[in-house]
Structure 1
Amino acid sequence: MIERSMIREMCDAFGPPGFEGPVTDVVRSYLKDFNIRTDHMHNLYIAHPGNQGNRPVIQLDAHLDEVGFMVQSIRANGTIAIVPMGGWVTSSVPSQLFLIQTRTGERIRAIIASKPPHFKTALEKQNDQVHLEDLVLDVGACSREDVVNLMGIAPGDPVAPQVVSSIDPSTGVIFGKAFDNRLGCVAIMEIMRRLKSEQLPVDVVAALAAQEEIGMRGATVTSQVVKPDFALVFEGSPADDLYFDEHTRQCALKQGVQIRHFDASYVSHRGFIDFAQSLADGSNIRTQHAVRRGGSTNAGKISLTGKAVPCLVLGIPSRFIHTHHNFAALEDLEACVSLAVEVLKKFDPEVICNG
């Protein structure tokens, strides 16, 4: 069973692009028995202890970062202009709680300012649209001097949502933030723990990547370091079960792990998908399949490494990603972990590539 504390701590950790250090601290605390390496981007590399160095290399990928903001400037009235890091659902941002991390490591709570209807003109009420470039943070200060001198906030400070996660014991539904992609990271952490003493037919290197939300930058580096022959990419995938019927939806809570065939950055390897699906069928692991019109994962970068890398993209359905508050199901996370474990224990490059 996946430790619930590991899920909560990973999702609650502060970690917008370029500031993933607190997330990597959680990873290290739960994988103390593994040799973990890092680089200057905060990418983490975790090798399976049974690796031999002369077999096909399988990279396990998930990204550490979450969507956030960065402080751009501080105005005379004490409000703080910000720049987005990642693709926010703009309409969901006003009035939400955030944390600003200063250079000393202190975190200061802030609210995205939202003008009350009492002060809006008739035209503003009629055209009630939200533009990210117009949003400012309010830390409760009355002047720029208070923000700078008393709170120590400065341009370049990172900003991330303030949310405390929980897991409903009766439904198995997880509530929290940053399911894209802390749930993918949790999946990899659990996979490495379950396979620690297994004799695998391949070498396995987990690479938890930074800065995915601003252009898959971390995976550009990790794939060059690992030089994989194949890759399993894990993602907190946007659930669509609230918007489409059962025949049209492709990512529903409590319907199993999602296998992705196509998105804006990646065309799947059909042999890899067929191999995984056959193992899922044999082990009664529920799956659902997605052909996406948009979106992307680190597979977009990893698949183009070297002479090309066949990738299998596995998603954990997550409602309302790129906002403060998400829902996901423990059983879908478990299905993702279980399928990946089966794939790695029975990995057969010949069947995948020639089947």
Structure 2
Amino acid sequence: MKRSTVALAAMLATTVTLPATAQDRTKDLLRELADAPGPSGFEEPVRKIMVERMKPLADDIRYDGLGSVIARQGSSGPRIMIAAHMDELGGIVRRTTPNGFLTMQMLGGWLDQAIAGQRWIILGSKGPVRAVSSIRDVHLAPQEERGQLIRRDAVFLDVGASDSAGVAALGIAPGDPIVPDSPFIDLNGTGNYAGKAWDDRIGCAVLLVAMERLKASGHPNQIFFTATVQEEIGLRGARASTAIVKPDIGIAIEGGVTGDSGGAKPEESQVELGGGPGLFLYDSSALPNRKLVALIKATAKQAGLPLQLDLVQGYGDDSAEMQTVGGGAPTVNLVVPARYTHVHTGIINRRDFDQMVDLVVALVRKLDAKTVAEIRDFTP
């Protein structure tokens, strides 16, 4: 895995380096995190980035038994857990066919229509291998098939091999991880960035930048900046890390869902790209604490920050585990809006990201012992 990770990093490092005076450290961080391969259960390259950047900012770093990173900052005050997950949607190699194609076990909530006709990278034992997912050729498909969904079990990976021996020679075997091939791009100078894995590398970036700012300014808490694993296959890392942290307050930082692209219905999402950070009032896994919601609204207003409110079906996040494990804690899910999640390429807005960092930093500074005690008081 180490050899393939190093080789992949070298292969993906094709962007032009800007002069030092023009370097945008935040954009570089977003690019590095988005481009890193890390499907559920194979988060090593992302964990390496997170740990290297957390070390000089943390009092100590621990890991749960699944590989989540728990970086503590501060030694007294309320225990505030701020979590973002490192894993992305991807897959693993299931088997090789006699004629050299591969089948995939998908990891996470893919739409079937997002899988066919795409480029992928397989992390094999000899390094990264480029692949293309098959699609029914339009010249062969009868008219009645052309508008139909291609099911995932009808999609194969093509690595150019002609037989199973050719696949093995490339260093590919069952169980090898697969990620989308979709490098980061600054989208035409619009302030929007396109790339893979914004769910939830955007949250990982918020953790790192907020951690740096809070280290410099100070805060009244013990903050546990937690980069979790295996969120996309059942919130598993958050469950394990919450049992270690035992938070007084839990905050998940996620990639949100926008309703501003073509085909979305008004009741599906009210969030727009470029409209500022978002706050979930409901999702399928968790209801936020109402006092914490009120504090976030007041904090955003006081700081002059926009705040978008949303309710989304079919969505789960790490706050659900922080909310219930070990006796429970008041939690909330804050989101950086993202278009096109759970597909090869999504889009985020830089200002939304910067404003989310501002909101998280301002919120943490307000969570002193008295405020946390009031939020946790359920006395009638």
Measured against the shorter chain, the TM-score band is over 0.9
Structure 2 CA distance, aligned partners of 1:172 and 1:322? 22
Does 1:180 find its partner at 2:199? yes
Structure 2 CA distance, aligned partners of 1:216 and 1:245? 27
**Match for residue 320 of structure 1?**
340
**Match for residue 114 of structure 2?**
92
Q: What residue identity is the alignment partner of 1:19?
A: F
Between the aligned residues of both structures, percent identity stands at 29
Does 1:107 find its partner at 2:132? no
Q: Quote how far apart the aligned CAs of 1:170 are.
A: 3.2
**Match for residue 69 of structure 1?**
91
Q: Quote how far apart the aligned CAs of 1:240 are.
A: 1.2
Structure 1 CA distance, aligned partners of 2:307 and 2:268? 15
Structure 2 CA distance, aligned partners of 1:176 and 1:99? 14
Q: List gaps (5 residues or longer) in structure 1.
A: none
Deviates more, 1:63-72 or 1:159-168: 159-168
Q: Quote how far apart the aligned CAs of 1:134 are.
A: 1.6
- Structure 2 residue matching 1:328: 3-state secondary structure: strand
Does 1:116 find its partner at 2:137? yes
Structure 2 CA distance, aligned partners of 1:160 and 1:244? 27
Q: What residue identity is the alignment partner of 1:98?
A: W
Q: Quote how far apart the aligned CAs of 1:303 are.
A: 0.4
Q: What residue identity is the alignment partner of 1:231?
A: G
- Structure 1 residue matching 2:309: 3-state secondary structure: strand
Asked if the contact 2:90/2:177 (under 8 Å) is kept, the reply is yes
- Structure 1 residue matching 2:325: 3-state secondary structure: coil
1:86-145 deviation per Cα after TM superposition (whole angstroms, max 9, x unaligned)? 0112212211111111135x11000001121222345534x6221112211000111111
Q: TM-score with structure 2 length normalisation?
A: 0.87
Q: Quote how far apart the aligned CAs of 1:169 are.
A: 7.2
Does 1:296 find its partner at 2:324? no
Does 1:330 find its partner at 2:350? yes
Deviates more, 1:95-104 or 1:333-342: 95-104
Does 1:143 find its partner at 2:168? no
Structure 1 CA distance, aligned partners of 2:131 and 2:268? 40
Structure 1 CA distance, aligned partners of 2:208 and 2:38? 17
1:304-354 deviation per Cα after TM superposition (whole angstroms, max 9, x unaligned)? 012211112100110000001111101111111111101111112144345
Q: Quote how far apart the aligned CAs of 1:245 are.
A: 8.0
Structure 2 CA distance, aligned partners of 1:85 and 1:27? 22
**Match for residue 16 of structure 2?**
none
Asked if the contact 2:275/2:306 (under 8 Å) is kept, the reply is yes
Q: TM-score with structure 1 length normalisation?
A: 0.93
Q: Quote how far apart the aligned CAs of 1:247 are.
A: 9.4
Asked if the contact 1:250/1:289 (under 8 Å) is kept, the reply is yes
- Structure 1 residue matching 2:139: 3-state secondary structure: helix
Structure 2 CA distance, aligned partners of 1:268 and 1:154? 43
Deviates more, 1:248-257 or 1:158-167: 248-257
Q: 1:258 aligns with which of 274, 278, 281?
A: 278
Asked if the contact 1:275/1:351 (under 8 Å) is kept, the reply is no
**Match for residue 51 of structure 1?**
75
Q: 1:205 to 1:93 in 2, by over 3 A?
A: same
Structure 1 CA distance, aligned partners of 2:328 and 2:97? 49
- Structure 1 residue matching 2:216: 3-state secondary structure: coil
Q: What residue identity is the alignment partner of 1:282?
A: Q
Q: 1:249 to 1:218 in 2, by over 3 A?
A: closer
**Match for residue 195 of structure 1?**
214
Structure 2 CA distance, aligned partners of 1:287 and 1:305? 28
Deviates more, 1:139-148 or 1:344-353: 344-353
Q: What residue identity is the alignment partner of 2:49?
A: V
1:243-281 deviation per Cα after TM superposition (whole angstroms, max 9, x unaligned)? 458898422111111001111110110100100110110
Asked if the contact 1:6/1:30 (under 8 Å) is kept, the reply is no
**Match for residue 326 of structure 2?**
306
**Match for residue 218 of structure 1?**
237
RMSD: 1.9
Q: 1:244 to 1:155 in 2, by over 3 A?
A: closer
Q: Quote how far apart the aligned CAs of 1:45 are.
A: 1.0
Q: Quote how far apart the aligned CAs of 1:25 are.
A: 1.4
**Match for residue 342 of structure 1?**
362
Tell me which stretches of 4 or more aligned residues in structure 1 moved more than 6 Å.
245-248
Q: Quote how far apart the aligned CAs of 1:32 are.
A: 3.9
Structure 2 CA distance, aligned partners of 1:76 and 1:6? 42
**Match for residue 3 of structure 2?**
none
Structure 2 CA distance, aligned partners of 1:290 and 1:27? 29
Q: What residue identity is the alignment partner of 1:313?
A: N
Asked if the contact 2:64/2:240 (under 8 Å) is kept, the reply is no
- Structure 2 residue matching 1:281: 3-state secondary structure: helix
Q: 1:244 to 1:89 in 2, by over 3 A?
A: closer
Q: 1:248 to 1:79 in 2, by over 3 A?
A: closer
- Structure 1 residue matching 2:215: 3-state secondary structure: coil
Structure 2 CA distance, aligned partners of 1:15 and 1:199? 32
Going by fraction, where is helix more abundant, 1 or 2?
A: 2
